[in-house]
Amino acid sequence: MIRYEINYISENKYSEEVKEAIFDFLVLPADTVYQRLKNYTVENSLKENIFEYRNLFGFKILRIRTSKAFDSFLFSVSSQVEVAEQNPFDFKPLPLEKELEILNSDRFKIENFLYLRKTKYTYVSEKNKEKFLWYRKDKSVFDFLIELNKHVHNLIDYCTVSTDVHTVADQIFEIKKGVCQDYAHVFISIARENGIPARYVSGYLNQGKGYIGDALMHAWAEALIPGVGWKGFDPTNNLLVEHNYIKVAHGEDYNDCAPIKGVIKTAGSSLTRYSVRVIQEQQ
């Protein structure tokens, strides 16, 4: 097992006094087959109690509710997580004809409806589907997804000032620039159009490896391979997900995995900044 310490800090500043607020943070490493959250501590500048609940996908959310007046708010989480070493190529795929049979079955489509349908973030217009990669039935789903990972990686130039959290996949096909969230949405949109269930994933990267996007929270995709299960693909770095990735949550798209959501009572504008530090502990 590889042990990581993860420090997440969010700072919010407001031009006018906030009179009441609710904040939800989706930033804790998840418990999965490959990783375990060992412990964590939470602090906030308002000294409010932290409430915990799970969202519709089963991931833990930290909630703060306050009626104190404030114009700045600092929130931090320090967590320790263990991740099992894994080889993403270490599995035996089904025969091609069996994969196709499952992909085309009504049961498979119904069971995975959430991860096959179009959303606001993953919808792509007909004109931009000309830039899609299409699944050829002479190769395995896994091989196609590896090709798709590279295709999306080459399609988009990494740029932190071209998009924001509201940018959708259809726009990315036009500007061909974006960040990890945009790479993930484009990958998902193409996979779903090919009948392969895919979901959005948020998390952290081992910052000692020099990956693109490791300075903040990262985003990648998971796709469902018939007879095998969910496999992670990181088109931003053109890599398959393994033990250098720490998962926080998954959902249909970014909206299900946003690290911070809230409702505030104020008349002014706000500015949010956050930082992430991931340290691999020595064994």
pLDDT per residue over 216-226, tens digit each?
Answer: 999 999 999 99
Neighbour-count burial of 249, counting CB atoms closer than 10 A to its CB (0-12 exposed, 13-18 middle, 19+ buried): buried
Q: Say whether both 31 and 55 belong to one domain.
A: yes
pLDDT per residue over 266-277, tens digit each?
Answer: 887 888 899 999
Percent of residues in the chain assigned helix, strand, coil, to nearest 5: 20, 40, 40
In a domain, 89, yes or no: no
In a domain, 53, yes or no: yes
Over 80: is that where the pLDDT of 181 sits?
yes
Over 90: is that where the pLDDT of 43 sits?
yes
Q: What percent of the chain has pLDDT over 90?
A: 89
CATH code of the domain in which 64 resides = 2.60.40.2250
- The predicted pLDDT at position 51 comes to 96
Amino acid at the residue 260 = I
C-alpha closest to that of 239 among 173, 169, 180, 197? 180
Q: Say whether both 226 and 142 belong to one domain.
A: yes
Range of the domain at 37: 2-84+258-280
d(CA 107, CA 112): 9
In a domain, 91, yes or no: no
Over 70: is that where the pLDDT of 107 sits?
yes
pTM for this prediction: 0.95
Average pLDDT over residues 4-26: 95
Q: How many domains does the chain have?
A: 2
CATH code of the domain in which 230 resides = 3.10.620.30
- The predicted pLDDT at position 283 comes to 60
Average pLDDT over residues 163-189: 96
Q: Say whether both 207 and 121 belong to one domain.
A: yes
Average pLDDT, the chain: 95
Task: For residue 52, give the 3-state DSSP assignment.
Answer: strand
